[in-house]
């Protein structure tokens, strides 16, 4: 590294071991922070691919300032707006590393993250295809921790190698379906595995959950470290998975996306009888309570709420609580319809 902080091309003589993909859009206030968390990694041999999704602020120029000093940093600009999933797919196409890691523009990694993960991936390459750890979830405005997001290892079948829990392959999908075996903010995997699963560009929410479930449906070895490797910063743009005062219209889109997610789970994967029952239950709950009761009824969209209760009734094969919800909303719908005319 030169006196002015620039890294020469001579210092990057071999192909990058890790390709880091970050989708980014209008993040001029956060882009320096996320790049710094990568630059400050104790592991050196990486390439950082920031995929700009048609930003209208100074995001691209800020990235280019870093790229001028460090050839490991690349800015790829989508020809048209594709959303976070499309940007990640662009990053996959551009990546050249042996391993691939995903990062978000509003999150941070602890300095040891890549070093630790690459160590285990290299040392136990026959057994481990993908490594993951825990994210610490904080509110950006207050720096307050709202979720110490750890895996309950008592409920996850595994064996132990050094500090790594090797999740039993035959149980991996079931663990991810009902909870979490891997998390996007902390995972890093072999490029051949990561490139085999594209990001779903049709989902507006539950995108990470679907993508990671698809990874866990593969016959892969997953190692988990019961330690914090990342900070997930919750703020107005991403509070959909931790609560928050969002508009009814936004929450309607989010819950509708989760309906689609559970429909895709039932359609896409070969589920066991127990897994199918679980997915049907989650779909019915999403229809009835998240979309019908908590989203449509407060907006006095009683017709839409009734439809959700009926769909839950069908999916659950006539579970009583959904029938009761349907009956309760009928007078509200009728009364609301009368006042329209």
Using CA atoms, how far apart are residues 98 and 17, in angstroms rounded to an integer? 5
Using CA atoms, how far apart are residues 313 and 307, in angstroms rounded to an integer? 10
Nearest to 19, CA basis, from 79, 103, 111? 103
- Other beta carbons within 10 angstroms of residue 201's beta carbon come to 14
Whole-number pLDDT of residue 239: 44
339: pLDDT strictly greater than 50 = no
Nearest to 117, CA basis, from 219, 232, 229? 229
Using CA atoms, how far apart are residues 283 and 187, in angstroms rounded to an integer? 27
Whole-number pLDDT of residue 332: 64
Q: Could you give the residue range(s) of every CATH 3.90.550.10 domain in the chain?
A: 9-240
> Could you tell me which residues are beta bridge partners of residue 166?
159, 223
Whole-number pLDDT of residue 256: 94
Model pLDDT for residues 248-279, shown as the tens digit of each residue: 788 898 899 999 999 999 999 999 999 999 99
Whole-number pLDDT of residue 131: 98
333: pLDDT strictly greater than 60 = no
Rg (CA), the chain: 22
Model pLDDT for residues 93-104, shown as the tens digit of each residue: 999 999 999 999
204 pLDDT tier (thresholds 50, 70, 90): confident
Read off the pTM: 0.87
Higher pLDDT, 27 or 319: 27
CATH of 9-240, one of 3.20.20.70, 3.90.550.10, 3.50.50.60, 3.40.50.12780: 3.90.550.10
Percent of the chain with pLDDT over 70: 87
Is the alpha carbon torsion for 165, 91, 12, 72 positive or negative?
negative
Half-sphere exposure of 126 (CA within 13 A, CB side): 1
Mean pLDDT of 168-192: 96
């Amino acid at each position: 590294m030169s006196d002015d902080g620039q890294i020469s091309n001579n210092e990057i003589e071999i192909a990058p071991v890790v390709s880091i993909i970050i989708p980014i859009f209008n993040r001029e206030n956060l882009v320096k922070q996320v790049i710094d968390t990568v630059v400050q990694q104790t592991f050196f041999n990486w390439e950082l691919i920031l995929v700009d999704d048609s930003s209208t602020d100074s995001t691209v120029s800020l990235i280019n300032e870093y790229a001028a000093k460090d050839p490991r940093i690349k800015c790829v600009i989508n020809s048209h707006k594709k959303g976070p999933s499309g940007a990640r797919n662009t990053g996959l196409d551009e990546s050249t590393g042996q391993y691939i890691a995903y990062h978000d523009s509003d999150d941070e990694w602890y300095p040891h993250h890549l070093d630790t993960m690459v160590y285990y991936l290299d040392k136990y390459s026959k057994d481990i295809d993908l490594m993951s750890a825990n994210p610490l979830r904080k509110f950006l405005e207050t720096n307050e921790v709202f979720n110490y997001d750890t895996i309950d290892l008592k409920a996850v079948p595994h064996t132990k190698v050094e500090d790594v829990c090797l999740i039993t392959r035959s149980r991996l999908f079931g663990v991810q379906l009902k909870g979490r075996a891997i998390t996007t903010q902390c995972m890093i995997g072999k490029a051949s595995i990561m490139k085999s699963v594209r990001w779903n560009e049709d989902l507006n929410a539950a995108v990470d959950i679907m993508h990671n479930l698809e990874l866990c449906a593969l016959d892969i070895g997953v190692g988990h470290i019961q330690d914090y490797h990342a900070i997930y910063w919750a703020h107005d743009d991403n509070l959909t998975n931790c609560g928050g005062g969002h508009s009814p219209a936004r929450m309607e889109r989010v819950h509708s996306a989760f309906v689609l997610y559970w429909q895709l789970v039932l359609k896409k994967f070969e589920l066991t009888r127990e897994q199918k029952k679980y997915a049907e239950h989650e779909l019915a709950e999403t229809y009835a309570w998240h979309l019908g009761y908590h989203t449509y009824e407060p907006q006095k969209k009683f017709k839409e709420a009734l439809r959700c209760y009926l769909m839950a009734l069908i999916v659950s094969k006539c579970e009583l609580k959904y029938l009761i919800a349907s009956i309760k909303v009928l007078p509200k719908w009728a009364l609301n319809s009368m006042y329209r005319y």
